Amino acid sequence: MTHFVYYADLFGTAVFAVSGALAAGRLRMDPFGVSVLAAVTAIGGGTVRDTILGATPVFWIHDTNYIWVVLVTALLVMTLVRCPRRLSGMWFQLADAFGLALFTVIGAQKALSFGASPLIAVMMGVMTGVVGGMIRDLLCREVPLVLRKEIYATASIAGGILYTLSIQMGMAQIPAMVIAMAGALVIRVSAIYWHLSLPAFELNEPSKEE
């Protein structure tokens, strides 16, 4: 991984850790809970990906910088943030979209480097991007948001497909990353800006109340 991608990855880790720590604060967790929520949100997706690929020990065992970034972020959020409103603003959502796009591309890249097929590479990219947030929501006893409304996973899927296609067509890694991340970012930012969402699959089920 080039230096730039590596530091961008640590930045994405911090952004995702913030979103986990904020979720913990909403449920009034203690410092341990805040750290756990920050960690599962930030490194949960990559951990599940590595476990399924058999890339064990998982990535943060080798490189503990990811853990330090998570712990320092959790500490900063606990000491500095009182009113999370400001953090949910446009800048944070942009940073989160950047993290999603980058995690997707890094996940797809890792799967390809393990010899996975294009379909699996896209899946592993999306998994890296969204599974951490899903575990966060599960621990907060919520149906994962990503499964319900927003165009969030869709941006990740598009990024994963763009990256995998570009690599398959013989493009070098850096331009493929740039194209894929741009695609994912455009979709995600449009969805935030125009409040887009996919139509839900709804069942008419009279028996639901029983």
CA distance 132 to 73: 16
Compute the half-sphere exposure of residue 31: CA atoms within 13 Å on the CB side of its CA: 7
Using CB under 8 A as the binding rule, whether residue 58 contacts a copy of itself is answered as yes
CA distance 91 to 58: 31
CA distance 46 to 103: 8
Using CB under 8 A as the binding rule, whether residue 154 contacts a copy of itself is answered as yes
Using CB under 8 A as the binding rule, whether residue 10 contacts a copy of itself is answered as no
Which 3 state secondary structure label does DSSP give 194?
Answer: helix
Using CB under 8 A as the binding rule, whether residue 134 contacts a copy of itself is answered as yes
Contact region with a copy of itself (CB under 8 A), list: 59-67, 97-105, 163-171, 178-186: 59-67
Tokens (6 digits) for 88: 């949910």
Tokens (6 digits) for 200: 């839900």
Contact region with a copy of itself (CB under 8 A), list: 7-15, 20-28, 158-166, 183-191: 20-28
Using CB under 8 A as the binding rule, whether residue 168 contacts a copy of itself is answered as no
Footprint on residues 62-121 left by a copy of itself (CB under 8 A):
64, 67-68, 77-78, 81-85, 88, 114, 116-117, 119-120
* Nearest CB to a copy of itself, comparing residues 84 and 173: 84
